Amino acid sequence: MSSEVRSARGGSRQWPYPQLSALEQLSDADRDDALAFMRRTGDLLMMHKFGVDELMTKLRIWREEFDYAHEHDPIEHITSRIKRPEAIAAKLARRGLPVSPESARANLTDIAGVRVVCPFISDVYLLRDVIRQHEIEIVQTKDYIAEPKPNGYRSLHLIIKMPVHLSNRTELVAVELQLRTIAMDFWAAVEHELLYKSGGEVPEHFAAELKSAAETAAGLDAQMASLHQRSEGTSG
Protein backbone atom coordinates (compact mmCIF):
# COMPACT_ATOMS: atom_id res chain seq x y z
CA MET A 1 0.00 0.00 0.00
CA SER A 2 1.39 3.42 -0.92
CA SER A 3 1.44 6.35 1.54
CA GLU A 4 0.30 9.86 0.68
CA VAL A 5 2.88 12.59 1.27
CA ARG A 6 2.41 16.34 1.24
CA SER A 7 4.77 17.97 -1.26
CA ALA A 8 6.79 21.05 -0.31
CA ARG A 9 5.21 22.76 -3.33
CA GLY A 10 1.67 22.00 -2.20
CA GLY A 11 -0.72 19.22 -3.10
CA SER A 12 -0.18 15.55 -2.46
CA ARG A 13 1.48 12.69 -4.25
CA GLN A 14 1.52 8.96 -3.81
CA TRP A 15 4.77 7.61 -2.32
CA PRO A 16 7.09 6.48 -3.81
CA TYR A 17 7.12 8.94 -6.69
CA PRO A 18 9.66 9.63 -9.45
CA GLN A 19 12.79 11.71 -8.95
CA LEU A 20 13.25 14.63 -11.34
CA SER A 21 16.64 14.87 -13.01
CA ALA A 22 18.95 17.74 -12.07
CA LEU A 23 18.24 19.56 -15.34
CA GLU A 24 14.47 19.10 -15.16
CA GLN A 25 14.42 21.00 -11.86
CA LEU A 26 15.88 24.16 -13.45
CA SER A 27 14.19 27.07 -15.19
CA ASP A 28 14.50 27.33 -18.98
CA ALA A 29 17.23 30.00 -18.73
CA ASP A 30 19.22 28.04 -16.16
CA ARG A 31 18.84 24.90 -18.25
CA ASP A 32 20.34 26.66 -21.28
CA ASP A 33 23.32 27.76 -19.15
CA ALA A 34 23.73 24.23 -17.83
CA LEU A 35 23.76 22.72 -21.33
CA ALA A 36 26.39 25.23 -22.46
CA PHE A 37 28.44 24.44 -19.36
CA MET A 38 28.31 20.72 -20.08
CA ARG A 39 30.01 21.30 -23.44
CA ARG A 40 33.14 22.85 -21.86
CA THR A 41 33.87 20.87 -18.73
CA GLY A 42 36.61 18.59 -20.06
CA ASP A 43 39.53 20.20 -18.21
CA LEU A 44 37.54 20.52 -14.97
CA LEU A 45 36.53 16.86 -14.93
CA MET A 46 39.96 15.62 -15.95
CA MET A 47 41.66 17.54 -13.12
CA HIS A 48 39.24 16.14 -10.55
CA LYS A 49 39.74 12.64 -11.95
CA PHE A 50 43.46 13.09 -11.37
CA GLY A 51 42.74 14.16 -7.78
CA VAL A 52 40.77 10.96 -7.23
CA ASP A 53 43.52 8.90 -8.85
CA GLU A 54 46.16 10.39 -6.51
CA LEU A 55 44.08 9.65 -3.40
CA MET A 56 43.13 6.14 -4.54
CA THR A 57 46.80 5.30 -5.09
CA LYS A 58 47.71 6.39 -1.56
CA LEU A 59 44.82 4.44 -0.05
CA ARG A 60 45.78 1.25 -1.89
CA ILE A 61 49.39 1.57 -0.74
CA TRP A 62 48.36 2.13 2.90
CA ARG A 63 45.96 -0.81 2.65
CA GLU A 64 48.68 -3.21 1.53
CA GLU A 65 51.17 -1.82 4.06
CA PHE A 66 48.80 -2.27 7.02
CA ASP A 67 47.86 -5.75 5.92
CA TYR A 68 51.53 -6.75 5.64
CA ALA A 69 52.97 -4.92 8.66
CA HIS A 70 50.10 -5.12 11.13
CA GLU A 71 48.04 -8.09 9.87
CA HIS A 72 44.98 -5.87 9.86
CA ASP A 73 43.47 -4.20 6.81
CA PRO A 74 41.63 -1.01 7.88
CA ILE A 75 39.90 -0.77 4.49
CA GLU A 76 37.07 -3.11 3.48
CA HIS A 77 36.53 -1.48 0.09
CA ILE A 78 36.93 1.81 -1.77
CA THR A 79 34.70 3.49 -4.35
CA SER A 80 35.02 6.78 -6.20
CA ARG A 81 32.99 9.03 -8.45
CA ILE A 82 33.16 12.26 -10.42
CA LYS A 83 29.99 14.36 -10.38
CA ARG A 84 28.24 14.50 -13.76
CA PRO A 85 28.44 17.82 -15.66
CA GLU A 86 24.67 18.31 -15.55
CA ALA A 87 24.65 17.81 -11.77
CA ILE A 88 27.49 20.33 -11.34
CA ALA A 89 25.66 22.88 -13.51
CA ALA A 90 22.37 22.35 -11.69
CA LYS A 91 24.02 22.80 -8.27
CA LEU A 92 25.64 26.07 -9.34
CA ALA A 93 22.34 27.34 -10.76
CA ARG A 94 20.43 26.43 -7.59
CA ARG A 95 22.94 28.42 -5.55
CA GLY A 96 22.63 31.42 -7.83
CA LEU A 97 26.28 31.11 -8.89
CA PRO A 98 27.74 31.55 -12.39
CA VAL A 99 27.46 28.32 -14.34
CA SER A 100 31.04 27.99 -15.55
CA PRO A 101 34.01 25.65 -14.97
CA GLU A 102 35.79 28.46 -13.11
CA SER A 103 32.85 28.95 -10.79
CA ALA A 104 32.59 25.19 -10.18
CA ARG A 105 36.28 24.98 -9.29
CA ALA A 106 36.02 27.95 -6.91
CA ASN A 107 32.74 27.11 -5.19
CA LEU A 108 32.16 23.33 -5.19
CA THR A 109 34.11 20.84 -3.10
CA ASP A 110 32.21 17.66 -3.98
CA ILE A 111 32.93 17.32 -7.70
CA ALA A 112 35.33 14.50 -6.87
CA GLY A 113 34.41 11.97 -4.22
CA VAL A 114 36.01 8.92 -2.64
CA ARG A 115 34.26 6.63 -0.16
CA VAL A 116 36.22 4.29 2.10
CA VAL A 117 34.38 1.57 4.02
CA CYS A 118 36.19 0.23 7.09
CA PRO A 119 35.61 -2.77 9.37
CA PHE A 120 35.64 -0.74 12.60
CA ILE A 121 35.10 2.84 13.77
CA SER A 122 38.69 2.91 15.02
CA ASP A 123 39.82 2.32 11.42
CA VAL A 124 37.92 5.40 10.28
CA TYR A 125 39.88 7.64 12.61
CA LEU A 126 43.11 5.76 11.93
CA LEU A 127 42.88 6.65 8.24
CA ARG A 128 42.05 10.26 9.07
CA ASP A 129 45.20 10.42 11.20
CA VAL A 130 47.32 8.85 8.44
CA ILE A 131 46.12 11.54 6.04
CA ARG A 132 47.12 14.22 8.55
CA GLN A 133 50.56 12.66 9.00
CA HIS A 134 51.22 12.90 5.27
CA GLU A 135 50.56 16.65 5.33
CA ILE A 136 47.53 16.41 3.06
CA GLU A 137 45.51 19.52 3.83
CA ILE A 138 42.12 18.85 5.42
CA VAL A 139 40.09 21.98 4.78
CA GLN A 140 36.81 20.79 6.31
CA THR A 141 35.71 18.04 8.70
CA LYS A 142 32.13 16.97 9.38
CA ASP A 143 32.03 14.20 11.97
CA TYR A 144 28.60 12.61 11.69
CA ILE A 145 29.81 9.66 13.76
CA ALA A 146 30.31 11.82 16.84
CA GLU A 147 27.20 13.87 15.98
CA PRO A 148 24.84 11.91 13.68
CA LYS A 149 22.43 13.72 11.39
CA PRO A 150 18.80 13.94 12.62
CA ASN A 151 17.81 11.06 10.32
CA GLY A 152 20.48 8.83 11.90
CA TYR A 153 23.13 9.10 9.16
CA ARG A 154 26.67 8.41 10.39
CA SER A 155 29.95 8.95 8.55
CA LEU A 156 33.12 11.03 8.71
CA HIS A 157 33.34 13.56 5.88
CA LEU A 158 36.60 15.28 5.00
CA ILE A 159 37.28 17.82 2.28
CA ILE A 160 40.95 17.48 1.39
CA LYS A 161 43.23 19.18 -1.11
CA MET A 162 45.09 16.57 -3.14
CA PRO A 163 48.28 17.69 -4.93
CA VAL A 164 48.14 16.73 -8.61
CA HIS A 165 51.58 16.87 -10.23
CA LEU A 166 51.23 17.73 -13.90
CA SER A 167 54.09 18.02 -16.40
CA ASN A 168 54.43 21.78 -15.89
CA ARG A 169 52.75 22.58 -12.58
CA THR A 170 51.14 21.23 -9.43
CA GLU A 171 47.42 21.76 -8.82
CA LEU A 172 45.57 21.35 -5.52
CA VAL A 173 42.27 19.60 -6.19
CA ALA A 174 39.41 19.37 -3.71
CA VAL A 175 38.24 15.81 -3.03
CA GLU A 176 35.40 14.85 -0.72
CA LEU A 177 36.44 11.81 1.32
CA GLN A 178 33.79 9.83 3.18
CA LEU A 179 34.93 7.30 5.78
CA ARG A 180 32.41 4.91 7.32
CA THR A 181 32.01 1.41 8.69
CA ILE A 182 30.35 -1.52 6.93
CA ALA A 183 27.24 -1.08 9.10
CA MET A 184 27.05 2.65 8.34
CA ASP A 185 27.47 1.96 4.63
CA PHE A 186 24.70 -0.64 4.61
CA TRP A 187 22.28 1.80 6.27
CA ALA A 188 23.28 4.70 3.99
CA ALA A 189 22.91 2.59 0.83
CA VAL A 190 19.38 1.45 1.70
CA GLU A 191 18.36 4.93 2.87
CA HIS A 192 19.66 6.41 -0.40
CA GLU A 193 17.65 3.90 -2.43
CA LEU A 194 14.47 4.77 -0.54
CA LEU A 195 15.04 8.52 -0.91
CA TYR A 196 15.85 8.18 -4.61
CA LYS A 197 12.59 6.36 -5.26
CA SER A 198 10.64 8.92 -3.23
CA GLY A 199 12.09 12.06 -4.79
CA GLY A 200 13.79 13.03 -1.53
CA GLU A 201 10.70 12.90 0.68
CA VAL A 202 9.53 9.94 2.76
CA PRO A 203 6.51 9.43 5.01
CA GLU A 204 7.05 10.26 8.67
CA HIS A 205 6.75 6.66 9.84
CA PHE A 206 9.44 5.62 7.35
CA ALA A 207 11.76 8.30 8.72
CA ALA A 208 11.25 7.03 12.26
CA GLU A 209 12.00 3.45 11.24
CA LEU A 210 15.11 4.53 9.33
CA LYS A 211 16.43 6.37 12.38
CA SER A 212 15.75 3.32 14.54
CA ALA A 213 17.63 1.16 12.03
CA ALA A 214 20.57 3.60 12.17
CA GLU A 215 20.68 3.23 15.95
CA THR A 216 20.65 -0.55 15.56
CA ALA A 217 23.58 -0.30 13.13
CA ALA A 218 25.45 1.91 15.63
CA GLY A 219 24.89 -0.71 18.31
CA LEU A 220 26.27 -3.38 15.99
CA ASP A 221 29.37 -1.25 15.38
CA ALA A 222 29.92 -0.91 19.12
CA GLN A 223 29.47 -4.65 19.70
CA MET A 224 31.87 -5.59 16.91
CA ALA A 225 34.43 -3.05 18.17
CA SER A 226 34.26 -4.64 21.61
CA LEU A 227 34.80 -8.10 20.13
CA HIS A 228 37.72 -6.78 18.10
CA GLN A 229 39.38 -5.25 21.16
CA ARG A 230 38.94 -8.48 23.14
CA SER A 231 40.37 -10.57 20.31
CA GLU A 232 43.38 -8.24 20.10
CA GLY A 233 43.89 -8.62 23.82
CA THR A 234 43.91 -12.41 23.68
CA SER A 235 45.97 -12.80 20.50
CA GLY A 236 49.63 -13.64 20.82
Q: Which helix (H) or strand (E) holds 112?
A: strand 112-118
- Residue 127: CB atoms within 10 Å: 22
**Does residue 176 have an active-site annotation?**
yes
Residue 122, burial from CB neighbour count under 10 angstroms (0-12, 13-18, 19+): middle
Q: Is residue 180 within 8 Å of 188, Cβ to Cβ?
A: yes
| Integer CA distances (angstroms), 141 to 150, 153, 182, 183, 203, in order | 18, 15, 20, 21, 31
Q: d(Cα 110, Cα 81) in Å, to the nearest integer? A: 10
3-class secondary-structure state, position 157 = strand
Catalytic residue among 4, 65, 71, 176: 176
| Integer CA distances (angstroms), 69 to 61, 64, 65, 131, 233, in order | 12, 8, 6, 18, 18
How open is the CA angle 79-70-122, to the nearest 5 degrees?
Answer: 55
Q: d(Cα 173, Cα 175) in Å, to the nearest integer? A: 6
Q: Which helix (H) or strand (E) holds 179?
A: strand 170-181
- Residue 195: CB atoms within 10 Å: 17
Catalytic residues: 176
